[in-house]
Amino acid sequence: MTVGTADISVAGARRVSVARGYRFELVKLVSQWRIRLLVLACWIAPAVFVTGVSQQSTLPSDTLFGRWMLATGWAAPLVLLGFAGTWALPLLTSVVAGDVFASEDRLGTWRHLLVAVRSPRRIFVAKALASLTVILLLVAGLALSGTVGGLLAVGNQPLVGLDGHLLAPSDAAAKVLLAWVCVLAPTLALAAIGLLGSVALGRSPMGLLLPALVALAMQLAQMLPLPVAVRLALPGYGFLAWNGLFTSPVQLGPLLIGIVVSLVWAVLATALAHVLFLRRDFTNPVYDGSARRALTVGLLPLVGLTALTVAALAVATPSTGSGIEQAKVQRSLASAFAHLYRLQTRQLHRPAVTEAQLRTTAACTKSDGQAAQEGAGNDWRCVVTWHLPGVAVAGTAIYQLDIGPDGRFVADGDGPKEVNGYFLLRTSTGDSPNPLWQFDGNVELLATTSKG
């Protein structure tokens, strides 16, 4: 070290390759009992849960696709995906990515690692890749275990989509796989936030909790009546955007925006973590992070990114309000009703009808027309009208809609009971409730959608 001389040669410091560093990090991660326990839980618990639910008469109908868990095995991985996006994935990323750097602080092994690997940059890459591998292993376990459990316990039947249309088992399989792949994007964003917290906050437990706290904050934000541009600009939306895969046409716009936003967050948070990591003082054995640096390097750029994304989406998409507008609600409900009416017709062994023949329409009002006819709420009331071939009088049915700020709604039949009341229908897989009694649907928040 001859300070001030430009052409200094490094004293033959042969650095450890990223591949070897990655294996080293994997060995350390997998040797931890909590990681082993998580892997075991993720690969076994979903199958046990699904099998347990399949033996019950009460279904988790408040979770998306929960009401179809006894009808097809493909509903199970989607129910789990909804749960995973809310709880499991934020917690898993917290435990893995949120601790991958902090554990070295706790054990006081940074100096040892630096002496062994000889490159902070490669240490960072190896740790990031190793934690990513473990997270992917956990996510794969959740998806596969839930799918296998569902198929074994219930069977490989068609899946009813979010607009009531039937997906053949092969289509359902492809979309279930795609939905889990799409959720990897927000999971990566949370993992990157975990890396950032782990680097920025050192041994502080806040580093470990950061992804879970961010995920919780994002969920709370998604529950608020935010403008569409703000909702879609948050990486948490990626955990909901997969819902659009199960409509026809596929709601591709929100899905792609959710994925892109999540990936941008993942890249930026990882880059910030990298910068913070390279700037840290490894000579201080009791390093607990620098609050000011964490704020300026870690937090502010992410806030800036959110502001930029909101602005870009506000300009690029025509929807600036809640995105839940009367016309869209009516269209979504009519479409779902028509599809489910055809399903009910089949289950009742009546002559088949087509959507074109039904010419289904819906007339919806919010708060009995006393308030603005848009936005989330459980005060939407709709009258659905349809026609049958050879019948002069149009049929009508009433529904109460509870629409969430994310566009998902539950339609509850309010008569006539012969059409949308509760009664059991005999199907090939056993008795099932009238599909027109209660069903889930989805209002696309953006004004336009690609045909899928």
Partner 1 sequence: MDAIRARGITKCFGDVVALDDIDLDVAQGQIHGLVGPNGAGKTTLLGLLLGLAVADSGSLHTLGRPVGRALAAPDGVAGFVDGPGLYPSLTARQNLAALAALRGHDVRTAGIADVLDQVGLTDVADDRVRGFSLGMRQRLGLGAALLTKPRLIVLDEPANGLDPAGKRHVHGVLTRLAREGTSVVLSSHHMDDVEALCSEVTILATGRVVFSGPLNKLAAENRELDYRLLTSHPQSARRLAADTAGIRVVDGTEARHDAEVLVVRTLVPALDELVVRLVQSGIALRELAPVVSPLEAAYLALTEQQEDGR
Classified as helix, coil or strand, 119 is: coil
Q: Which of 37, 44, 108, 348 binds partner 1 (CB under 8 A)?
A: 108
Q: Is 27 in the site for partner 1 (CB under 8 A)?
A: yes
d(CA 391, CA 447) in angstroms, rounded, equals: 35
Decide if 366 contacts 380 (C-beta within 8 A): yes
CB of 275 to partner 1, least distance (A): 15
Nearer to partner 1, 57 or 283 (CB): 283
Q: Is 117 in the site for partner 1 (CB under 8 A)?
A: yes
Structure tokens at 360: 């289904």
Q: Is 118 in the site for partner 1 (CB under 8 A)?
A: yes
Structure tokens at 16: 């450890």
CB of 68 to partner 1, least distance (A): 42
Q: Which of 115, 303, 352, 392 binds partner 1 (CB under 8 A)?
A: 115
Nearer to partner 1, 108 or 318 (CB): 108
- Please, which residues bridge with residue 380 across strands? 366, 401
Q: Which of 37, 56, 109, 174 binds partner 1 (CB under 8 A)?
A: 109
Helix, strand and coil in the chain, % to nearest 5: 60, 10, 30
Which residue, chain included where needed, has tokens 């964003």? 189
Strands in 278-423 per DSSP E = 361-366, 377-386, 395-403, 408-413
**What is the distance between the terminal CA atoms of the chain, rounded to a whole angstrom?**
62
Structure tokens at 242: 């997969």
d(CA 211, CA 428) in angstroms, rounded, equals: 44
Q: Is 370 in the site for partner 1 (CB under 8 A)?
A: no
Position 356, amino acid? A
Region from 20-28, 142-150, 338-346, 396-404 binding partner 1, contact rule CB under 8 A: 20-28
Q: Which of 56, 111, 307, 452 binds partner 1 (CB under 8 A)?
A: 111
CB of 411 to partner 1, least distance (A): 52
- Please, which residues bridge with residue 403 across strands? 377, 409
Q: Is 3 in the site for partner 1 (CB under 8 A)?
A: yes
CB of 31 to partner 1, least distance (A): 4
Q: For 359-385, b where at least 16 C-beta lie within 10 A, e where not — what string?
A: ebbbebbbeeeeeebbbbbebbbbbbb
Q: Which of 91, 95, 96, 113 binds partner 1 (CB under 8 A)?
A: 113
Q: How many residues sit close enough to partner 1 to count as binding (CB under 8 A)?
A: 40
Nearer to partner 1, 23 or 426 (CB): 23
Residues 6+ positions from 189 with CB-CB distance below 8 Å? 235, 238, 262, 263, 265, 266, 269
For the segment 29-68, give every residue that binds partner 1 (CB under 8 A). 31-33
Q: For the chain, what's the residue count?
A: 452
Number of helices and strands (H, E) in the chain?
A: 17, 9
Cβ atoms < 10 Å from Cβ of 345: 15
Q: Tell whether omega for the bond before 46 is within 30 degrees of 0, i.e. cis.
A: no
For the segment 281-300, give every residue that binds partner 1 (CB under 8 A). 282-283, 285
- Please, which residues bridge with residue 395 across strands? 386
CB of 10 to partner 1, least distance (A): 3
Q: Is 430 in the site for partner 1 (CB under 8 A)?
A: no
Q: Which of 61, 86, 119, 320 binds partner 1 (CB under 8 A)?
A: 119
Q: Is 194 in the site for partner 1 (CB under 8 A)?
A: no
CB of 20 to partner 1, least distance (A): 5
Q: Which of 65, 74, 110, 337 binds partner 1 (CB under 8 A)?
A: 110
Region from 112-120, 198-206, 419-427, 439-447 binding partner 1, contact rule CB under 8 A: 112-120
Q: Which of 39, 41, 114, 148 binds partner 1 (CB under 8 A)?
A: 114
Region from 64-72, 113-121, 252-260, 266-274 binding partner 1, contact rule CB under 8 A: 113-121
d(CA 196, CA 291) in angstroms, rounded, equals: 13
- Residues 375-404, mask of contacts with partner 1 (x by CB under 8 A): ------------------------------
CB of 199 to partner 1, least distance (A): 16
Nearer to partner 1, 111 or 417 (CB): 111
d(CA 386, CA 327) in angstroms, rounded, equals: 17
Locate all alpha helices (DSSP H) within 202-320, ordered by sequence: 205-223, 228-233, 238-241, 252-279, 291-293, 300-316
Residues that bind partner 1 (CB under 8 A): 1-4, 8-17, 20-21, 23-24, 27-28, 31-33, 107-120, 282-283, 285
